[in-house]
Every structure is written in structure tokens, then in C-alpha cells.
Structure 1
Amino acid sequence: MDSNPWMLSVVASLLQRLVARNERLLSSGKKLSKQNLCVFSATQVPAMSIAKYLERIFKYARCSPSVFVVAYIYIDRLLLNNPNFLLTSLNVHRLLITSVMVAVKFLDDLHYNNGYFAKVGGLTLVEINTLEVEFLFMLRFRLQVTGSVFESYCLYFQREVEMGRDIEIEKSLLFLLEKESDQSCRQDQSNRQRLGIS
């Protein structure tokens, strides 16, 4: 696990674009709802970028690359279930560490506990526990991801890379993408079979 998987750049780029769009909406006069001022909101914008934060999580959590795809799916579901909740620079980091922690618990056989994820995310144990409970309720406890949904997100990520949309990716990444995508999907298929996920 010396190099970061290609999907970290894709997830960071997609989230950054969504945050930028939402903050443009807010600056143009849209009021924050009470739902947006929830436990995920930090008091100030973290100094670390979304991309660096994802790299930190990957480095220290040592979870499988497919976890980041599932974490993104969870964030998508949460936003769909809670249309008044806007992803902003004040809440994206906390939402990310929580979604990755929940995804790793669901997918990976071996993973760290909440206290460890709190340290990785720069939070306290009480905060990460509170965020996890809130996240699960906002997600309506829908954690299962079917193989077809997982595959469609992988293809979506691949198209983002091929189109080069605001993603800082080296030219050699497309080759790595094909190689890693095959390996990751095979590993995820094995995980899904073991967990009884269709």
C-alpha cells in the first residue's frame, strides 16, 4: 500500500466540486437549514484539503480501495435521503471519516476501532461515536451495496478519470486504473460473496 489508489483522486475531485457548488449557492443567498447545522459541522474549515484528508485516511486506516467507493455511495445516499443537507467545507471532512469508517466495518474483515478512526480523523472518541449514530440514521441504515450499484460507481469513476475532469492525475494513471480496477472488483466480488451481498 505504498501508493494511493486512483479512486482517492476521483472521490476528492467529485466532493470538492460539490462543496464548491453548494458554497456558491450559499453565497448567493440560500439560507442554511437546521439540518445543515448538525453534528457534522465543524466550527472552522479544516486546513487539510479533501484530497490530503483522504490520503491520510487511506494511509493510516489501511482499508481496501473498494471501501472508498462504498463510502462515496453512502454519501450519495445520505444526500439523496436528506435534500436539505448541503455538503460544505465545514462538514465534508467529518462526513468523509464517518462514511469510510462505516464502509470499512461493513466490507473489510479486519479494521480498526472507533477510537483509532477518531485519531486518524482528528476527532475525539465521543465525536466519532456521535457522528456514526447520526450518519446511520441519516442513511436510514441502508448499508448494503449491490454488485451492480458498486460496478456502476466504478464505471462512473473511470469515466471521470478518462474525461480528466479537474482531477490531478498523472498520464500513467489510466494504465493503473485498468489494472487496479480489475483487481479491486475481483477482491470486492470475493468480499460480496463472503458477506452474501448480491
Structure 2
Amino acid sequence: MEEKIKIASSPYFLNNYIEILSSILRRIVKSNDASPGCDKIVTQFHSETAPSVAIRDYMERILKLTKCEPGSIVLAVIYMLRICRDHSIPLTSLCFHRLFITSVCVSMKYFEDDVYSNKYMAKVGGISTRELSVLERLHLVMLKFSLMMSPIDYGNFCKEAVRLEGQILLDSVPTKGKKGGASELSNAIALIARLLPPNPNASEEKEKEASPAKEKASSASSAEKKEKETEPEEEESEKKAAN
């Protein structure tokens, strides 16, 4: 890794990043779990029943047993949300745990020098070694092997996460004439869109979508040119026939 990504320098973020990120992820999962139709979307990351371990507890368990750097956790969350956004997968309680342990496995291999084996990581995450290896390959393919993130986007993510976590806390406080937690801030799509940098492959996909239209337009214009070019010839032949 050419440029080592540094964790946001804010002492508040450094001391509370697990709580900050888990608070946002809990809100996203809670929103999606309550949304109709989300349970119909099934991937290899989904389990039949939701694990009993809470999101924050699961994140803290992985941090404790792997002693990974804060940057690895942050990148893991970013990778996870990118997959959900780019592949239209709602982050729910059925897929969070497998997605997160796989994301941590990938981010540690990218971000850190010394990493654990997949056998150990699978044990930490509560899945089999074979399953983790399969999910890791799928994870990389879904990210199109794009693991690098600029320090600017990384810093913006951390700052926005702190801001959103603060807003979530304010939103949960009941006020006069308002019920706690009633805000649309819990909307998962809005949260993901605000947290993540632009999709690096979006421009390429738009160009691919636009290319057929461009080809049709160019072929139509070339056909018009040919018609215009043949018109004078037809006029000349008609004049000669008249004479």
C-alpha cells in the first residue's frame, strides 16, 4: 500500500469509533429489517436466521480477538456499505455478520502487514474456514478488486460518521410534540448515500449504458449524410433523363 491511510485525528473518533460506527449500522439494519421486501433479497452473505449477538458486541469481539487497527475496522465498514450500495443489497440482521467479518478479513490483508489466517478469522467470526474463503472471493469480485481509498475520502467518511452519530443521538431524544426516533434519518439508503464517496466505477457504467445510444445516433447521422450525398446524384440523373 503506497500511501498509508491514517485514522481521523479527532480524539473523539479515536476513542469512540466502534460506538460511532455501530450506532449508524444499527440504525441502518433496524430500518431495513422493518422495510417490506428486504427479507426477499438473499445472497451468500445471508443466514436463515439472524444471529443473536448484537452489532456492537460482534464488532467489539472482532476487535478484541484480532487486535486490528482502527483503520481496518473503518475500511471494513466502507467496503461493506459499498457492496450494499453498488449491488442493491439492503444491510439487514441476516447479512450483517457475514458481510462484516469478511470485510474485516479483506481490509486487514490490505491495510496491515501482519494478519491472521482465514482459519483463525473464521473462528473469530463464527463461520467455517471454507465459507469465509468463498465469501472473501465473492467480496473482492463485488468490489471489483477496488480496495484503495483516498485519504480525503477516508477523512470525509470519518467526519461524516461523527456528525451522523451525533444527529442520531439528538433524534432519539424525545422533545415536546415529537416522538423519539420518528425522524427519517433512519432511512438506510439516505445514510449510505451520505456516508460513502462516489462509486469509482459509476462513470464507466454510465459510459457503457450511453454507448449503444451513441452508436445508434452516429449510425442514424451517417445514414442521413448518405441520403443527402445521394440526393444530388439522383437530381443529376433526373435532369439528364429529361434532356
Interval of TM-score (by shorter of Structure 1 and Structure 2): 0.7 to 0.9
CA distances 1:126-185 after superposition (whole Å, capped 9, x unpaired): 110111111111212111111111100111122234446289xxxxxxxxxxxxxxxxxx
Counterpart of 2:152 in structure 1: which amino acid? S
Counterpart of 1:60 in structure 2: which amino acid? L
- Decide which structure has the larger Cα Rg and report it: 2
Residue 81 to residue 164, structure 1, CA distance change in 2 (3 Å): closer
Counterpart of 1:95 in structure 2: which amino acid? L
Indicate the residue corresponding to 1:82 in structure 2: 87
Residue 150 to residue 89, structure 1, CA distance change in 2 (3 Å): same
Alignment of 1:108-127 (within 5 A): 108-127=112-131
Cα pair 1:44 1:90 within 8 Å, conserved: yes
How far apart are the structure 2 equivalents of 1:74 and 1:143?
8
Residue 79 to residue 31, structure 1, CA distance change in 2 (3 Å): closer
* Cα RMSD after superposing both structures: 2.1
How far apart are the structure 2 equivalents of 1:32 and 1:69?
26
Whether 2:6 is the aligned partner of 1:6: answer: no
Cα distance, 1:91 vs structure 2 = 0.6
Alignment of 1:55-134 (within 5 A): 55-83=60-88, 85-134=89-138
Counterpart of 1:9 in structure 2: which amino acid? E
TM-score by length of 1: 0.74
Aligned with 1:39 (options 44, 55, 74): 44
Q: Which runs of 4+ in 1 moved over 6 A?
A: none
Cα pair 1:13 1:166 within 8 Å, conserved: no
How far apart are the structure 1 equivalents of 2:93 and 2:170?
18
Whether 2:24 is the aligned partner of 1:19: answer: no
Counterpart of 1:111 in structure 2: which amino acid? V
Residue 102 to residue 127, structure 1, CA distance change in 2 (3 Å): same
Cα pair 1:5 1:65 within 8 Å, conserved: no
Counterpart of 2:156 in structure 1: which amino acid? S
How far apart are the structure 1 equivalents of 2:160 and 2:38?
31
How far apart are the structure 1 equivalents of 2:155 and 2:170?
22
Specify every segment of 5 or more residues in structure 1 that has no aligned partner in the other structure, as ranges.
168-198
TM-score by length of 2: 0.61
Q: State the aligned residue count.
A: 159
Counterpart of 2:76 in structure 1: which amino acid? A
Whether 2:50 is the aligned partner of 1:50: answer: no
